[in-house]
Amino acid sequence: TQLLEQSPQFLSIQEGENLTVYCNSSSVFSSLQWYRQEPGEGPVLLVTVVTGGEVKKLKRLTFQFGDARKDSSLHITAAQPGDTGLYLCAGEGSGGYQKVTFGTGTKLQVIP
């Protein structure tokens, strides 16, 4: 069973602060996806990283895939209240077209 542990589990910060969310596993993934979910809605795909060491930026969000493709991080710069939500990483098994295993989740609250 492929497990993905996220840390921290909860995070409450002031608007304007920076934060990093970590996603760790002992398994190798062919890709790693990050989602944000708001109450009452389904998860929304933010980014997919595929290559070990890959870094992708989405406005104030920076995503990195570990060199060994076992871990990933999400860094948010100057957090805003609109960033509030449940952040989920998800690893896709090797070989393509495989099921996705979701991480344990990080609840982020950005206080105005």
Partner 1 sequence: SAVISQKPSRDICQRGTSLTIQCQVDSQVTMMFWYRQQPGQSLTLIATANQGSEATYESGFVIDKFPISRPNLTFSTLTVSNMSPEDSSIYLCSGGWEYEQYFGPGTRLTVT
Cβ partners under 8 Å of residue 41, min gap 6: none
Q: How far apart are the first and last CA of the chain?
A: 40
- For the CB of residue 78, give the shortest distance to partner 1 in the complex, in Å: 25
- For the CB of residue 97, give the shortest distance to partner 1 in the complex, in Å: 6
Coil/strand/helix, residue 32: strand
Cα–Cα dist 85/42, whole Å: 11
Tokens matching residue 104? 């344990």
Nearer to partner 1, 5 or 19 (CB): 5
Nearer to partner 1, 18 or 51 (CB): 51
Nearer to partner 1, 10 or 14 (CB): 10
- Footprint of partner 1 (CB under 8 A): 1, 31, 33, 35, 39-45, 48, 50, 86, 88, 90, 92, 96-97, 99-105, 107
- For the CB of residue 103, give the shortest distance to partner 1 in the complex, in Å: 6
- For the CB of residue 16, give the shortest distance to partner 1 in the complex, in Å: 25
Closest by CA to 72, choosing from 107, 16, 29, is 29
Nearer to partner 1, 59 or 97 (CB): 97
**Amino acid (1-letter code) at residue 19:** L
